Structure 1
C-alpha cells in the first residue's frame, strides 16, 4: 500500500512538473456540493424548526427586534440592518420576511402601509414603515435565561439556536417554503383553538385541529389528513345574493386576492363559462366584490358556476414538514401541537427551576446578612490585620448556622458580606428582615408547588394567554362540507348545438344558412349523445364542427346519470326476424365508443324511436305486413307496460311477424315515480343522495318553500343546482298549499310582538315576499308549518326573566299573508322556541292526497320524435 501511494505521488509530482493539473471528476464534485447546498437550503432557509416555529431569517429578525426594543417603533430599514448582523443574505429577503411576519398580526405591531393580503397590495418601502414587538411576542417568545446560544455566521455575536417560544406558534402562523427536493406548507390555525387544544392535550384528551384562514371564507376539511402530504383542502369564497341580478363576494379563499379573483371571473366570462355584466371591487375595510349578472341568469346557478370555473373555489395541498434536531420530518398537525405543548411545559419547568434557584440564593444571602449583622460578626473583623484573617473570622462566626443552609457557604458568599455598607448595617431592621425572608420563603413554596403540579400550572398559563390575548381572534373560516359541482351542470349555455342531418355534421359552429338545424342551447364543455337510424349511438365531445356520420336520427346534450331520461324503441332483429320493444336509460358510456339499440346483428332495423325527458310512455299503432298470416294485422301497443331497463337490454317481444309500420297513436304521460329530495344544510344544496333533511317526494309541479330570517318567504323549484343561504333560512320544506304558516314577529314601528297565521297566496317562483313589517329592525322570531304548534315564549318582567307557553293555533285565526296578526302581551326581551316537533312528512290531510291522486291520473307529458 505504501509503495502504491509513493508511486501515485511520483506521478502527481511529474504531472505538476510538466504543467499538468490534478484531474478531479466533475461527478464527484457535483454530488458533494449539491448535497451540501440542498442541506443548507433545507435547514437554513426554507423549513421551520418544530421547537420555536421559525425559519432562520424569522428567528434572527425577532432576535434583532428584541435587541432594539425600547417600547417605541423602529423603522423597518433599521431592523433590516440589525438583522443583517445575523443573517448572511440580502436586505430584500429580510425586508420581505418582516412584512410577512407583520401581516400575520401576531408577533409584530405595525405602523404605516404594510400592504393587504386580501387585495395583494404590497407594503411601502422599508424606510417608510415602522414596527415593534407585540406584547404577546414579549410574553411568549423571549427569555434569555432559557435560550441556547451560538455564534453568528461571522463569529462576532451570539444568536439563539432556537427561541424559547411557549406557544404553538408554527401552527398559529402557518408557513410555506420550497427547498431542494423538499417543500413545506403548513396552514395557519386558530389562535383560540390552539390554546384550547393544548389544554386538552395536557388533560389527556384527543385533539382534532383544522386550519383557520385570515381571509375567512368556507372550507371543506374532509380530506385534510392532519396536514400531511396527500391531503387536500377545498376553500370557497363567501357569496351572498344581494338581489336577483347581483351577487356579493364578502370573503375570499385563502391564497387568493381580490384582484386575482376578479381576473379569474373575467376570464371565465370571456370563455363563456359564466355570463356576467360587470364586476366591481368595492373592497375597503371589508372585502366586497360586486358581480352583476347578465339578463336571465340564475343567481344560484351562477354561484355554482363561480365555484366550478373561477378562483371562488381553490384547492390547497398541505405538506407538514418541520426540522427536528437538524433533520426534516413529516408530522401531522396534532402531533406538532402535542410536541409544542410538551415544549411549553419543559420551558415553564426551566423557568420555575431558575426562579427556584434564584429564590434559594436570595434566601441564603438574606439569612447570611441577618446572621452577620444580628450576631455582630462585622465587629469581630475590626481587629483582623489581613484579608485572609477577615474571611476566616467571618467563616468562623457563620459555622454554627451552616447546617441550616441548602448548600455550602463559599468564599464568594463571605466576600459579598464584606461589601455590605455601614449605612445598611446601621439601619438594619430585624423585623423587616424576617418579613422579607418570610415573603421569599412563601414565593419558594409557590414555585415548589407549581413544579410539583407542573401540568396544572401549564394549563393555567394557557388559560391566562387565552384571557389576555384571545379576544378578537375567534374563528374566521367556516367549516363546511362541499358537494362536488359538476362543471357541465353549471356551465353557462354559451353556445347552441346545431346538426346537419344531410351532411352528417354536428357542432356549435354550424350555421342555419349551411343547412344546419338548431337543437338546443349548450356549453362548450358538454358531451353530445347521437343516435343513428340503424340503431347505433355514441357520445362525443362537442366541437365547433364535427363529422359524426350520415343517417343521424337524434342529437342532444348528454347528461350523465339522468335516470328520468328514457328512450323508447321498437326494432326488428336481423337474425331472428323478431320485433322487440324496449325502454332504456343511457346513464354512462365511454366517449367515442359505439353502442346499439338493437342486438347488433346484420340486417337489424330500427322501426320506432322517441326520447322522453320525464319518462313518458306513449301508445303506438303497429301495422303488420299484409302478406303475414297473422289474424290481427293492426294493433296498439302501450310503452307503459314495459319496464325501464339498462341500455344493454334486448327488450320484450312485440311480435314474431313482419312489421310494416309503427306510428304514434297517443302522447305519453310520465311513468316515473316522484323524486325523493333531501336538503343538506352543511352545503345549502338539494340532493338525491340521502344527505341531510328529507323533504319528501317531488313531482314536476312541486315547489319548495323557503322562509328567511328577514321575514320573507320564497317559492323555488327543486333543481339540484339551487343554492340556499343556510345562515339566513328559518324554514325550508316542500311547499304544500294547504298548510298554514305560523309566525311570531316583532314590529319595530309599533314596538310590539305579534303572532300571525296565514296561507301562501302568491304563485310567483323565485321572488321573495315580506310578510312582516318592512322597517330594518323588525324581525322574525319563529316560523313553522306545524298543525298545532306550541311555543315557549321568554320575556323580561322587570329585571327578571319569565316564561310562558303559548298554543299558537288558538291564539289567532288564519288571515291573509299581509295581515299583522294578534299582539303578544309582552314588551321586552322576547324570545320564542318551539316545543312541538315537526309533523310527519307523509301525514297529509285527505284532500291533499286526493289532489295528488287526481294529478297522477290526469298528468300528460311530451311525446318524442315518432316514427321516421
Structure 2
C-alpha cells in the first residue's frame, strides 16, 4: 500500500499508524451515531425499553418495598447506572409514570390533556405497579452487565413477559433514522398474543389514551411507509356551540386551541370564542360566529386545524443488541409472544430444579431422622468418618439414579446421587428440630412437593397452553380499566374548498372587466373563500376560470361571474348566441366540470362577430322558457315565439348547439323559470359519520328535485323540515327517520307521556310550513319518552311490558288503533305506565325516488325554414 493510499484510508504510512483528522471525524461520528441509536433513542425488542427507562425500572425494583419513594431519590439511585444526568432521567420517569402501566405515581405528575408539567421531583413520589413486579422482573432469568463506572451491575435487558413496547408506544430520533411506534390496547394485545399461540393470524390497531378516532386503512401494521389519520371527537351542541371532547394523539388542549386560533386568524374558519373547560375530561367549547354552520365548521376544523393529524408510524427497534431493524407491530408481537413462552419455560425449568432439590433433601432428611442415622455417628472419631457413616446409612434406603435395581431391592431411587454437601447439610440439623420432627407432616410436605413437581413437568410438556393461560391471567387480573378508548373508523377526505369559511367577498366591474376581493366600490357578487376559483363569461362568448385575488383583469363586458367548483355535474349553463358566420341564433346547454385556469375557452363556434344573446346559470340543471323577439325587418312569418331549453340535451362547453332561428334576433328574455331536467338528485346518509353524500354510502334518503325538502324526526320528539344541505352532519343514533318530505306523509308515534304517566299513540300529518325550524310533537315533560316514530303507511309494532314480574307482548296495527289527527293532539292511550320495548315489524320505510324522463323533442318554436336544409331544433355536430 502506498503512502498516499494509506493517508486516504485515515492512517499514515509510518509504523505508529497515527490517525489523521479526517479519519478521526469518520470514526468518531460512526461511534457517536452507533451510541445514540443503541444506547439512547431506539428501544430494544427484548423488553421494549430504552436504556434510561430500563435503568429507572431496575433502580425502582432495587428500592421496592411496597411504599412510595420520592422521585428525587429514584433519580439519584438511577444515576448509578445512567450517565446522562438527572434531567434526562426525570423526564423519562415522568413519561413512564403518566402512562401508568409500570409506575404507580403519587402527587402532581402533570396533565397529558392540557400539557401542564409535573411538579418538582422533590414533591412527587413513585413506586412500581403490581403488574411491573409480576411481569417485568426475575433476577434468575436476567442477563447482567457491569454499569458504566464498574461499581454496579445492571440488566442487559429486563425479562419482560409482555409486549411493553406495543402497550406504551415509543418515539425517538437518532442519527440517520427515527422510530415511532403507536401505543396499543392492553386487552387486545393479550388476546392477539393468544391468537398467535393458537396458530391464528393476529390483528392489532393503535389505541390512544386521549381517545379520538383513528383511520387505519393505510396503517400497514406500523411498518415504515404506512400512515394513519387521527381525529378529535367533536360534538355539535346546538347551532351556536360545538365542543371537542377527545384529542388526537400527541395533542394537548393548548396546542389544539392554538391551531384553531391560527386558522381563525387566517380566515379559514370563523369562531367567536374558544374556551378550555378541561378538568378530568377534555372539553374545548367553541362559540361560532353568527350565521356560521356548525356542521361546516366541524369539517373545517378537520381540514385546517390539528383536529385531524396524519401520522407516519415507523417501527424501528434493536434486535439482538447490535443493530436497528425495520419491522411491523405484528412482527414485534409475535417475537415477544414467543419470547414470553421461552421465559416461562426458563422459569419452569428453574422451578423444577428447585423442587427436585427440595424433594431430594426432604427425602434424605426424613430417613436420616426417622431411621435414627444421626445416632450412628456418636462413636466416630473424626468428621470424615461421620460423613462415611451417614452415607453408608443412607445407601441402605436409597439408590442412585444410575444404579440398576437388583432383584428384591426395595430401596427408593433418588433424583440425583447423594453429594457430600447433602450429608454436611444433614449434620447441621439442630437437635431441637430432630426432637420435634413429625413424620406425618414430613410425608405431607413430600407429597406436596411431588404434586408441584408433577404440575411443573406437565406445564413444560404443554408449554403453549401454559403460555396461553399466562396471557389470560394477565387479562383477567389487570385488564379492567384498559378498555379501548380510540374508535376505529374510516374518514371521508374533507374537501378544503367545500368547508373553507367565507372569509372574502367577490366583486365585479362588468364594464371594465375586473373581478376580485378588493373592488369594494363595485358590484357585490357573493361571499367566498380566499381559495375559491371564479368563473367568468363575457358577452363575446369567452369563458375563463381564475383563482380569486384582490383584483384581476378578465376582459370587458362580463355577463356572468360566480364561484366555480371542480367536478360540478349539477350546475348547468343555458345560453343563446349569435353565430357571426351564419347569422343564426344557436341554443346550447352545458356543464363546466374541468378546466385549465386562466385559459380562455370559446363557447361559440369562434366566428368573428359572434356574441351572447342570452345566458343563465342553473345550480340544479333547471331548464327555463325564454321569449325570442325577432327583428321587425326580418322575413319570418312569426316574429315572437317561445323557446324551451328543456328541448336541448346537456353537452360539453365546446358543442355548437341547436338552431333557435335563422333570422336576426332583436332580444331574448326570460319568460318562465324551469324545473330540473337532470332528474331527482339521489341522496344517501352515511350511517357511521352522519354525512350526506351522493356516492351511495349508507341509507337512501330519496330523490330530491328543485324545492324538495328533507324531513327529520328526532328521538327527543321533535321534527323539522329543512332544505337539502350536503354539508350538514347528523347524528344517526339520534334519528328515528330522515328522508325526503312528501305532502301525504303520516307520522305514527308511540310515546310515554310523563305528566299523565301513560303510553299514547298518535298519527298526524306535517301541518307546519316553516322550513328550518324544530317542532315538538310530544309533551315537554322531562319524563316524556318517544319510543317509536315511523313514516310507514301501515305500521305494525310489537310492544312489551311487565306485569307482576312477568313480561307480556302484543302486536298493534297503529293505523287501525287511531285515525290521523292534528300534530298537537296527545293521541289515544295504549298502556298504563311505561313499556319495556317497542319494535317495528315493518321493513324500514324509504321514500320513493321519482325518476324524471326528459323528452327528446318539444315543440317550442314555429317552423321558420321553407324546405330542406337545417331546421330549428336540429343538432349541429362540430369537429374540434
Same fold (TM over 0.5): yes
Aligned to 2:576: 570
1:535: how far off? Answer: 2.3
CA distance in structure 2 between the aligned counterparts of 1:283 and 1:751, rounded to whole angstroms: 39
Name which of 280, 284, 293 aligns with 2:288.
Answer: 293
Post-superposition Cα deviations, 1:133-158, rounded to whole Å, max 9, x if no partner, equal: 11121221112122221111122111
Aligned to 1:377: 373
CA distance in structure 2 between the aligned counterparts of 1:390 and 1:775, rounded to whole angstroms: 97
Distance 1:172 1:736, change over 3 A: farther
Aligned to 1:395: 391
Aligned to 1:283: 278
Aligned to 2:564: 558
Q: Map 1:20-169 onto structure 2 (within 5 A).
A: 24-169=19-164
Distance 1:6 1:239, change over 3 A: closer
Aligned to 2:258: 263
Aligned to 1:666: 671
CA distance in structure 1 between the aligned counterparts of 2:13 and 2:309, rounded to whole angstroms: 65
CA distance in structure 2 between the aligned counterparts of 1:218 and 1:777, rounded to whole angstroms: 33
Post-superposition Cα deviations, 1:327-355, rounded to whole Å, max 9, x if no partner, equal: 21222222222222222222222222222
1:164: how far off? Answer: 1.6
Aligned to 2:208: 213
Residues paired across the two proteins, number: 836
CA distance in structure 2 between the aligned counterparts of 1:372 and 1:601, rounded to whole angstroms: 124
1:123: how far off? Answer: 0.9
CA distance in structure 1 between the aligned counterparts of 2:18 and 2:15, rounded to whole angstroms: 10
Instruction: Tell me if the contact between 1:686 and 1:718 (Cα under 8 Å) persists in the aligned partners.
Output: no
Of 563-572 and 738-747, deviating more is: 738-747
Post-superposition Cα deviations, 1:813-853, rounded to whole Å, max 9, x if no partner, equal: 4444444444554757713333332245439xxxxx89x99
1:737: how far off? Answer: 4.1
CA distance in structure 2 between the aligned counterparts of 1:691 and 1:200, rounded to whole angstroms: 33
CA distance in structure 2 between the aligned counterparts of 1:170 and 1:294, rounded to whole angstroms: 45
1:438: how far off? Answer: 0.8
Instruction: Tell me if the contact between 1:570 and 1:580 (Cα under 8 Å) persists in the aligned partners.
Output: yes
User: Does residue 1:242 correspond to 2:247, yes or no?
Assistant: no
Partner SS state of residue 204, structure 1: coil
Aligned to 2:344: 348
Aligned to 1:480: 489
CA distance in structure 2 between the aligned counterparts of 1:6 and 1:517, rounded to whole angstroms: 80
CA distance in structure 1 between the aligned counterparts of 2:617 and 2:834, rounded to whole angstroms: 62
User: Does residue 1:363 correspond to 2:369, yes or no?
Assistant: no
Name which of 394, 419, 429 aligns with 2:428.
Answer: 419
Q: Map 1:651-800 onto structure 2 (within 5 A).
A: 651-654=657-660, 657=662, 659-670=664-675, 671-799=677-805
Distance 1:7 1:132, change over 3 A: closer
Distance 1:446 1:336, change over 3 A: same
1:757: how far off? Answer: 3.5
1:3: how far off? Answer: 13
CA distance in structure 1 between the aligned counterparts of 2:280 and 2:249, rounded to whole angstroms: 17
Partner SS state of residue 223, structure 1: coil
1:570: how far off? Answer: 3.3
Distance 1:164 1:379, change over 3 A: same
Of 73-82 and 234-243, deviating more is: 234-243
1:299: how far off? Answer: 1.7
CA distance in structure 1 between the aligned counterparts of 2:216 and 2:20, rounded to whole angstroms: 51
Instruction: Tell me if the contact between 2:505 and 2:527 (Cα under 8 Å) persists in the aligned partners.
Output: yes
User: Does residue 1:530 correspond to 2:536, yes or no?
Assistant: yes
Q: Which runs of no fewer than 5 residues in structure 2 stay unpaired?
A: 402-412, 854-880
Instruction: Tell me if the contact between 1:566 and 1:613 (Cα under 8 Å) persists in the aligned partners.
Output: yes
CA distance in structure 2 between the aligned counterparts of 1:160 and 1:225, rounded to whole angstroms: 33
Instruction: Tell me if the contact between 1:566 and 1:615 (Cα under 8 Å) persists in the aligned partners.
Output: yes
CA distance in structure 1 between the aligned counterparts of 2:714 and 2:826, rounded to whole angstroms: 18
Aligned to 2:404: none
CA distance in structure 1 between the aligned counterparts of 2:762 and 2:191, rounded to whole angstroms: 45
User: Does residue 1:254 correspond to 2:238, yes or no?
Assistant: no
Q: Map 1:190-229 onto structure 2 (within 5 A).
A: 190-229=185-224
Aligned to 1:304: 299
Of 834-843 and 280-289, deviating more is: 834-843
Distance 1:7 1:89, change over 3 A: closer
Distance 1:454 1:645, change over 3 A: same
Q: Map 1:844-859 onto structure 2 (within 5 A).
A: none
Aligned to 1:434: 443
Post-superposition Cα deviations, 1:682-727, rounded to whole Å, max 9, x if no partner, equal: 2110000111112221123333333333333333332211011234
Name which of 637, 643, 648 aligns with 1:637.
Answer: 643
User: Does residue 1:179 correspond to 2:188, yes or no?
Assistant: no
Instruction: Tell me if the contact between 1:707 and 1:729 (Cα under 8 Å) persists in the aligned partners.
Output: yes
Q: Which runs of no fewer than 5 residues in structure 1 stay unpaired?
A: 17-21, 844-848, 854-868
Name which of 312, 321, 327 aligns with 1:331.
Answer: 327
Distance 1:555 1:408, change over 3 A: same
Post-superposition Cα deviations, 1:486-517, rounded to whole Å, max 9, x if no partner, equal: 122122222210112233221111121xxx21
Post-superposition Cα deviations, 1:393-423, rounded to whole Å, max 9, x if no partner, equal: 2222222413412222222222222211122
Instruction: Tell me if the contact between 1:696 and 1:841 (Cα under 8 Å) persists in the aligned partners.
Output: yes
CA distance in structure 2 between the aligned counterparts of 1:344 and 1:728, rounded to whole angstroms: 47
User: Does residue 1:469 correspond to 2:478, yes or no?
Assistant: yes
Instruction: Tell me if the contact between 2:235 and 2:244 (Cα under 8 Å) persists in the aligned partners.
Output: yes
Instruction: Tell me if the contact between 2:195 and 2:202 (Cα under 8 Å) persists in the aligned partners.
Output: yes
Of 580-589 and 624-633, deviating more is: 624-633
1:72: how far off? Answer: 1.0
Partner SS state of residue 727, structure 2: coil
Name which of 650, 653, 661 aligns with 1:647.
Answer: 653
CA distance in structure 2 between the aligned counterparts of 1:718 and 1:761, rounded to whole angstroms: 19
Of 125-134 and 834-843, deviating more is: 834-843
Instruction: Tell me if the contact between 2:12 and 2:18 (Cα under 8 Å) persists in the aligned partners.
Output: no
Aligned to 2:228: 233
Of 798-807 and 718-727, deviating more is: 798-807
Name which of 520, 540, 563 aligns with 1:511.
Answer: 520
CA distance in structure 1 between the aligned counterparts of 2:227 and 2:269, rounded to whole angstroms: 26
CA distance in structure 1 between the aligned counterparts of 2:14 and 2:129, rounded to whole angstroms: 68
Q: Map 1:450-465 onto structure 2 (within 5 A).
A: 450-465=459-474
CA distance in structure 1 between the aligned counterparts of 2:106 and 2:784, rounded to whole angstroms: 42
User: Does residue 1:445 correspond to 2:441, yes or no?
Assistant: no
Of 809-818 and 316-325, deviating more is: 809-818
Aligned to 1:315: 310
Partner SS state of residue 62, structure 1: helix
Aligned to 1:846: none
Instruction: Tell me if the contact between 1:103 and 1:114 (Cα under 8 Å) persists in the aligned partners.
Output: yes
Partner SS state of residue 113, structure 2: coil
TM-score when scaled to structure 2? 0.89
Aligned to 1:490: 499
CA distance in structure 2 between the aligned counterparts of 1:6 and 1:701, rounded to whole angstroms: 87
Post-superposition Cα deviations, 1:660-695, rounded to whole Å, max 9, x if no partner, equal: 445125234132211001110121100001111122
CA distance in structure 1 between the aligned counterparts of 2:716 and 2:201, rounded to whole angstroms: 40
Post-superposition Cα deviations, 1:570-613, rounded to whole Å, max 9, x if no partner, equal: 34556677654321101122222332213445555444332222
Distance 1:145 1:747, change over 3 A: farther
